[in-house]
Structure 1
């Protein structure tokens, strides 16, 4: 019998949804021998990239029956890859004012190959076809993210596709308890409208690595639940973003909340009955005695949603405490929305990381980001080859890619 032909083509929502769902369900995410996560894409296989145009989803099919055996998603955006010293404008250079250097970056996510069809070159073929589309659309770099335990994915990308390990941020996960988190006294939290949030982010964070040039599209997206800023006494009223940027308080912190619950649901599998029973007991006690503030385990064993915290930043000696207050505010908001976890991703050396509550068992200390240069760098030359640059203290994680 001859080798069966593998055909890679663009996803067709009218006829491919069932086949894609079968592949997704056969590919649970998680290290072998440990509990795993199953992702339910809410009936829309392309939903995780449609918020980041331009985007593409490819499938691989095999045999005369055209069985779907693999899939991959990708999108392209313009992000900050470095910074340059401003040379125009009065006193710009003297005051060390930096401007962002942008590049066109492609992102690969959701590579899946059904278990019976692995080690047949399907994953490599999907990546190669997607990279062709990236190049045709002007992308200068491509990157992907995976957890440190996913040896097969790391081996494919670094060993066969020419990617190199680039950044190692941490994914921090906090359960949403049955009780509300008590917010600290003498901290005031203000909600910003999208225009104010855009002004703040462009002014303070536009030179942060991976900052999206279309931050306005992110902040105005229907999945964005708002941007919130925390300050200490005696800063009691919001003066407006313009005045804030001219004369900020000594300490402040900011974050935005993204409603991933409306995009996909997760489900933890492979957990013993004993652990399920202990988790249920903790929830019952927490619900009956909320004033005890018991750190109960949410219902992870059926589909649950999450809120993603992004755009996290701040300044001043009290900024860590203010970040913790914002995370408490986000927790209470997620509780009202029926979410089970809060998730954020930060650089491994992020100074504000100390203010982010999380459970070590649920978190990922080292998420691997691998990058590849697709062509010449079309920036102004301030960065050179981004793949060889040193990491900064922070990264800006785009919630559309979560």
Structure 2
């Protein structure tokens, strides 16, 4: 139980029975942009404050409450998971998500109290490192985490976004896209994840979540891997992989929450922090405000991207075309999103066109325990983690 009184603010654990509406009100009032034209906000009919952390056994939401009035003026979420590293280590990693402070109570230390409180919870649970993400352009967040909380840069990433109206959705006749069984996907990911600097240890759990629509491989037909579904021995198809191929999985946000655009005199991005995507996507999204977007809509997130071979350009393009076509068949999906580290080999193969947007993201890390593996420290504490797995549960 977290219960910290400081000055006139009480930091305590979220009470689902009495705090849902108050937290929702706080987050709808958190403005993340101002511009004339339209307003974009989360449709709260599907609202779930635990959405970004519900999949983790160790999780918490903290709120900052004014002692005099009982007003909720801040909120933050945290979770703990096991991750693997390219050095062969296994770490207990904490993640800070969805820090929000009421506009009328910023620069008063509320955010700092929330961060320190959730760090204390993580330390009590034996976390080795904790990390968080923020936009490169968010100077206030960067100042809080680096100057006051002693976080350092872990990695730079790019978020790629495009509407489902991806031009020319026909996939080349030379390319085959085939869906894997969950067992096949787990087997292939067990091998490919070792190429990542950081990756989750519970990939099987992610793939089995109801929001994960499945895993596919894209490859050239004349290079093998045909009729994957007929292969009984799951390990055999790994040894028979073609010269060039890409594996990818798709996460459906539409089942968790929806977004909506409305015309207004001032651009106010109102949100309830169900995930960071809506904070990042819309300031840069080159997307017209049509009648279809004035109704609630969602997006598909491509995750687990990994490719091998020399001819990856057309294969990556096929991934986008396939996902855009799938998106169109699903009710209310309008956008396709993925996020890749700056040194991920596939980042340079993301198809570019006039509708594609790219937003810079920063990950920060802080060491908690006396973990002494020099290879991990060198990678994590010297900003050398450039090829990381972006967990769809936290996006």
Q: Distance in 1 between matches of 2:149 and 2:353?
A: 34
Residue among 358, 371, 381 paired with 1:377: 371
Q: Distance in 1 between matches of 2:196 and 2:114?
A: 31
Residue among 104, 111, 132 paired with 2:99: 111
Contact 2:163-2:355 at 8 Å conserved across structures: no
Does 2:239 correspond to 1:249? no
Contact 1:168-1:367 at 8 Å conserved across structures: yes
Residue among 331, 352, 355 paired with 2:349: 355
Q: Distance in 2 between matches of 1:309 and 1:265?
A: 17
Residue among 357, 366, 372 paired with 2:360: 366
Per-residue Cα deviation, 1:54-112 (whole angstroms, up to 9, x for no partner): 111011110333111110001111112332xxxxxxxxxxxxxxxx3221111111100
| Structure 2 match to 1:345 | 339
1:144–1:362 distance in 2 versus 1, CA, 3 Å: farther
Q: Distance in 1 between matches of 2:14 and 2:137?
A: 29
Greater mean alpha carbon deviation, residues 161-170 or residues 391-400? 391-400
| Structure 1 match to 2:325 | 332
Residue among 43, 49, 54 paired with 2:53: 49
1:369–1:34 distance in 2 versus 1, CA, 3 Å: farther
| Structure 2 match to 1:322 | 315
Q: Distance in 1 between matches of 2:8 and 2:185?
A: 51
Runs (5+) with no aligned partner, structure 1: 84-99, 274-294
| Structure 2 match to 1:138 | 126
Per-residue Cα deviation, 1:115-162 (whole angstroms, up to 9, x for no partner): 011111100000000001111111111111111111111111111111
Greater relative contact order structure (CA < 8 Å, 6+ sep): 2
Q: Distance in 1 between matches of 2:66 and 2:261?
A: 31
Secondary structure of residue in 1 paired with 2:247: strand
Secondary structure of residue in 2 paired with 1:154: helix
TM-score normalised by structure 1 residue count: 0.83
| Structure 2 match to 1:92 | none
Residue among 194, 199, 202 paired with 1:206: 194
Secondary structure of residue in 2 paired with 1:72: strand
1:168–1:359 distance in 2 versus 1, CA, 3 Å: farther
1:22–1:359 distance in 2 versus 1, CA, 3 Å: farther
Q: CA deviation at 1:267?
A: 3.5
Runs (5+) with no aligned partner, structure 2: 1-5, 267-286
Contact 1:6-1:63 at 8 Å conserved across structures: yes
Q: Distance in 1 between matches of 2:35 and 2:288?
A: 26
Secondary structure of residue in 1 paired with 2:204: helix
- Higher Cα radius of gyration: 1
- The number of aligned residues is 362
| Structure 2 match to 1:223 | 211
Q: CA deviation at 1:13?
A: 0.9
1:28–1:363 distance in 2 versus 1, CA, 3 Å: farther
Contact 2:23-2:72 at 8 Å conserved across structures: yes
1:162–1:324 distance in 2 versus 1, CA, 3 Å: same
Secondary structure of residue in 2 paired with 1:157: helix
1:251–1:17 distance in 2 versus 1, CA, 3 Å: same
Q: Distance in 1 between matches of 2:9 and 2:354?
A: 41
Secondary structure of residue in 2 paired with 1:228: strand
TM-score normalised by structure 2 residue count: 0.84
Secondary structure of residue in 1 paired with 2:376: coil
Greater mean alpha carbon deviation, residues 125-134 or residues 348-357? 348-357
Contact 2:261-2:289 at 8 Å conserved across structures: no
1:157–1:195 distance in 2 versus 1, CA, 3 Å: same
1:36–1:272 distance in 2 versus 1, CA, 3 Å: closer
1:172-321 matches, cutoff 5 A: 172-177=160-165, 181-234=169-222, 235=224, 236-238=226-228, 240=231, 241-268=234-261, 299-321=292-314
1:387–1:355 distance in 2 versus 1, CA, 3 Å: closer
Secondary structure of residue in 1 paired with 2:10: strand
Q: CA deviation at 1:33?
A: 8.0
